[in-house]
A and B are shown apart, each in its own frame.
Chain A
């Protein structure tokens, strides 16, 4: 069967029929010129054939007929009509496959009609890369040069980017690039920045938009079905090709690829995959998978791994190393181990060169990983069989077997070995010699004869330098000719030398093609513009290079690498691009150890979580049954303060509280002699550990976005806050819009992945009033409605009306038989608003002035619900009774004021007055720094207004727990609650007190003693990695007695 254009939407139906030779494929275009009828039968002989990653034929032959492999073996008869290619000394593998080639799609112009398209510019799943596909020859060539024969090309932008196509890397504009279109759909969490590029402006916004679009696609299908069945009563839905294009994704008929920029991106996408039950998903990875390996392995999704390892951090030179964090050093050190750990976790994976500034670095990077312990067979699998399997084309690609496509990669040595280069790739039976100069080491001594009509003049050339960067010097007799420069482009070689041998002034420009061997012919143009022929013979080959040359070249090449790297995609991780000196000849003077030796065992080490400073390598202490004794216990409960009290913890819960408790058998007993124990500090207003933007500030109402989607777990501020006794926090959306996003309560379980931090249950949402939402303090307000407090009120009323209508629509639909009422869209934004109206989701509202606070309470009362908590609420004291009467809680700063006009009346007595009025009151930080000492903020309620100390402590423990809907789970030392507490050196309200330990659910997540040990561990690790960088850069230092590399005092001091 012959199918040049396969119109197969479903992968399950996809049978990629392998075809007759390309040249026989019917062309629709009128023929131009004379048809080529090249021989389609080839015999590749004398090569080592790696049939599959586990099967090798040491010396064999491959027969290709019309694009398909017909025979592979040691003894294979060569057909009479075959063209024979002697590949002695070469190795042949299946043609390499790059699954992550991103191409610029042709997008509709910004003023194009929206008819049939999604409302959002980043959603264009209907876009088809195969239509108008443009693969630049330079891109194709650089891929072929690195061994890749075919690729999956996908549109390089969009949250739903569009359809990708399997393509041949021929680089020809002959309408035969595409092998198979619509191979898969691509999704990514793309977003603009703060105030740029419209919705979404944050990662959480991108997640919400992706989810909403998938919900819309479900709705679209059903809406049309409904209309078709009952055209008279159900109105005709809009025609939306974008939503239609997603149907095969939802039904599992088409593959979906998800793109991730970091490990957390992938985890977020994983949740969406699960939510929508998406099948046939592959992931385009980030290279960071090892950071949260277990969670990623749980996704069960094969991953395409990039190898754009971070650039070697700068640790010496004038700057010193003080500002390079251990995490950046670790990212550099561990990057090559990512694939190994992924493989160990049994996650299927493929490699892609995507993100490398130079695709030609690909093999070097893979070799770095092989040096860490990946087998060559696994590496090869990851560019041949594994990607073919991921794409469902493993019946035809990925192996060297009869019946498979004659898509091969030919190496001049062992793949991935240091000096090995790609000789050719074969694509469906057609050879693409990659780099004709592969065997064209020009170096050596040459006699070059200029053949003019008058005379023959012979010039001696000496070509030195490296194979890739040869240098020329020329002599005429004993006389040095200047200048003498050599340029090469592929197999085209040019010289420019002085014209003195011809007795002329000026330059001779010589050019010709060099095909290897020891002769070289071409044409020279004299200064007078006359063309004459030349021929050159090699008289001696070059010996291996001296160290000096390569050393000086490294300087130059490092510079150029820097320039190239500016577009490198690994940019966001701080270090970028090239690993110093990898794969380049360094001077012989450097005594360098084999990287495999330097990094031996590294890939088997368990990575600290999170990677970098204070990462955890073992589970936290604790668990089981523990009796804490002899503490001053601030229960924040009916028992008040218990002097010399005990707490029994069982399986993460507080089991008994009292005095003189006896330890059950097997219990661990921890004496807290003289120390104070309080409930863990709870920060009801935090922006710690959020990735990809705190605000989705592009619209006035963004109730659909969820902070829970963008919790990260490597924010060092979590650890710093643990050191201040904090166990729980509400991570909040920012205050850029009246109705912001949904909040997420977390526990500070440092070292655990994001999903383990999240506390399920509380349903909260951020709202905001005043100067921020009306953009009062912006240099250039956008003009987005609202710009006044009056407009803010109307936004709320309008949004809540919309939610009522939405609820009514659903009620009507549910009450109908599906024929009389149309199914409403499932709208994430209105769902959240409807939850507010039902009282299931509590508003936490950023607010300052009394007028706006009163306003929102009245709006809520009109719609029949109560505000949960007013945040900041700095003029709350002016309407404390009104707040109490409404039933809202208050969470305030203790003493911040005067940073903007609406806080000019803020007073530190706010908390006390609210408390006195009977409002459930807490203090919060809204700051990574302040969060570290919220116990002292509580003391300010004692100072300003005389709140009793025990009650003041509740401002940062029990009261916020209640505000976060967790009053029955945490916030006090009571039987049955989570064992979340902090241990203090003294009175927790004293400024002289410090936090010694922090426990969450019966496990110790912080202690001063562990901190000291980790401090020492991290310093040692830092020094080790820095010494490795310096060794890689400068060679091993001389032995004692010689001159050691200079270490500046700065580094010593800074390494503290």
Chain B
């Protein structure tokens, strides 16, 4: 039972205030707090959104369109489409329909409150943990999930952190009862943190200090050797045991770490190479390609500096956050803002990440800032929808409003990259999703307090 309900029930003036309350809620933000958001019901009949401006992403937007979906899939898209009998029709006049946004790097479900250790599940002990699986630890009742959803994020990658090989990440749909419901793809990719290579160590004191540089180089070489050795050992293991251990518990005991690397070595899943510095990016990419892996740069602060290198090798980048400080004193104040425009111009495939969990809801505004500093607005939008789906390997199902793809869409009153825009409705795989959250609930509860205080609002 929610707090809002509770307080309402305990109120002696419940009946008197109910209508006023409802009216105010509706007025304030167009929501009606009932309970903790309940996962939506599976689609049971066709739904059509009509009269809406459709932004399919894979082609130009068009006004007064219809999008019809059934069984979780888009079955028709266009104008003047004949709707099957029993279609639930939603009037989208004056509104806009976009594919659900995709957050390509978060820790949703793994961490709840940063400062409270008991609520953190994102870092396992040890530096080589390929067998760690993000999805099995995702808390479907994390308050962060509805908060992210409220701004249009429909899909998100959640990843383990820490160490060098942190484990495998998973792509989540942000609605469901269990982690199994939530999981779209797992393992999605191996999360590998490449060591920092710049000489002179980190920080103000380290730079230009030859001793620190030498020490850092020694440590780095040890780490690099360990990473490579892990993969060499895995190759030997795969050669010796060509058949993957089945999920069933029988036969010889497998090496859990080595088994986890099997799909990475085969190229079935990519390696998410966390690398920021130019040298880190280059060396990690060269290493991964040398081992015939599928590298995707994550973070990629200096990716714009080595854009040609990445383009030549066809290595995609999950770039971000955009909202960060330049890493070097001499850099342009706008360097992180301009990164995506540089990548786009160089022909590098990229998605934009917010690299945040509690505020991944701001992902569209990261993309917008890139647009304010040189990236075409369409490219900015693509970077958090279709490009992300392509890089994550799910573009056959997600990322655009395309016939046959999943009906994962958001209905808005404007451009989702503008802050003032409201996301009014969301469907994930055809399922209508509740856009309420802890935040709207508390808003409702304390709007009630304010109203009972009979204090007249200023507007």
Contact = CB atoms under 8 A, between A and B. Distances in A.
Contacts of B279: 320, 1050
Given A940-B419, A991-B418, A325 B329 contact: yes
B204 interface: yes
Contacts of B369: 933, 991
Contact of A717 (B324, B325, B334): B325
Interface string B202-215: 00110111110100
A319 B198 contact: yes
A612 B329 contact: yes
Given A898-B114, A945-B29, A325 B328 contact: yes
Interface stretch (A18-26, A289-297, A448-456, A907-915): A907-915
A8 interface: no
Contacts of A944: 29, 443
B447 interface: yes
Nearest to B359: A895
B208 A575 contact: yes
B377 interface: yes
A899 B439 contact: no
A562 B213 CA distance: 12
Contacts of A419: none
A942 interface: yes
Contacts of A948: 459
Interface string B102-117: 0000000000111110
A479 B453 CA distance: 108
A877 B440 CA distance: 13
B417 to A, nearest CB: 6
Residue picked from B114, B305, B330, most chain A C-beta under 10 Å = B330
A929 B377 CA distance: 23
A909 B305 contact: no
Interface stretch (A40-48, A310-318, A802-810): A310-318
A900 interface: yes
B371 A1053 contact: no
Interface in B314-329: 323-326, 328-329
Interface in B11-56: 28-29
Given A325-B328, A328-B208, A562-B210, A314 B419 contact: no
Contact of B419 (A319, A326, A917, A991): A991
A1054 B198 CA distance: 12
A288 to B, nearest CB: 15
A870 interface: no
A896 B446 CA distance: 18
Contact of A897 (B325, B358, B419): B358
B459 A878 contact: no
B231 interface: no
A945 B443 contact: yes
B209 A917 contact: no
A68 interface: no
Nearest to A1056: B305
Interface in B350-374: 358-359, 361-362, 365, 368-369, 371-373
B185 interface: no
A777 B422 CA distance: 36
A881 B447 CA distance: 11
Contact of A942 (B205, B213, B420): B420
A253 interface: no
A918 interface: yes
Nearest to B213: A319
Interface in B42-80: none
Interface string A981-1006: 00001000111111000000000000
Contact of A719 (B333, B443, B458): B333
Nearest to B330: A613
Contacts of A823: none
Nearest to B329: A325
B211 A571 contact: no
Interface in A939-994: 939-940, 942-949, 951, 985, 989-994
A878 B446 contact: yes
B107 to A, nearest CB: 12
Contacts of A313: 207-208
Interface in B76-126: 112-116
Contacts of A574: 204-205, 207-208
Interface string B188-222: 00000000001110001101111101000100000
Nearest to B307: A1053
Given A327-B329, A562-B210, A918 B455 contact: yes
B217 A318 contact: yes
A936 B199 contact: no
B198 A322 contact: yes
B113 A901 contact: yes
Contacts of A985: 372
B278 interface: yes
B457 interface: yes
B417 A991 contact: yes
B311 interface: no
Nearest to B444: A909
A918 B458 contact: yes
A685 interface: no
Contacts of A318: 199, 217
A210 to B, nearest CB: 26
B449 interface: yes
Interface string A603-625: 00000000011000000000000
A946 B29 contact: yes
Given A313-B208, A325-B330, A898-B112, A943 B443 contact: no
A911 to B, nearest CB: 11
A940 B367 CA distance: 16
Interface in B367-413: 368-369, 371-373, 377
B245 interface: no
Interface in B154-213: 198-200, 204-205, 207-211, 213
Contacts of A913: 443, 446-447, 450
A939 B420 contact: yes
A917 B332 contact: no
A880 interface: yes
Contacts of B144: 898
A59 interface: no
Nearest to B422: A943
A777 B324 CA distance: 25
Nearest to A903: B113
A945 to B, nearest CB: 7
B306 to A, nearest CB: 6
Contacts of B326: 720
B116 A901 contact: yes
B235 interface: no
Interface string A667-683: 00000000000000000
B205 A907 contact: no
B453 to A, nearest CB: 5
Residue picked from B114, B208, B420, most chain A C-beta under 10 Å = B208
Contacts of A896: 358-359
Nearest to A562: B210
B331 to A, nearest CB: 8
Given A313-B208, A574-B205, A916-B458, 13 more contacts: A325-B330, A571-B205, A576-B209, A716-B329, A777-B115, A881-B455, A899-B113, A900-B114, A909-B442, A913-B447, A917-B453, A928-B325, A946-B28
Interface of A: 311, 313-314, 317-320, 322-328, 562, 566, 571-572, 574-576, 612-613, 716-717, 719-720, 723, 771, 776-777, 877-878, 880-881, 884, 895-901, 904-905, 907-909, 913, 915-918, 928-930, 932-933, 936, 939-940, 942-949, 951, 985, 989-994, 1011, 1015, 1018, 1022, 1050, 1053-1054, 1056
14 contacts: A320-B199, A322-B328, A327-B329, A574-B207, A574-B208, A881-B453, A897-B358, A900-B116, A908-B439, A930-B323, A933-B369, A939-B419, A946-B29, A991-B371
* 7 shortest interchain CB distances as A-B pairs: A319-B199, A991-B368, A900-B115, A939-B419, A325-B329, A898-B358, A909-B443
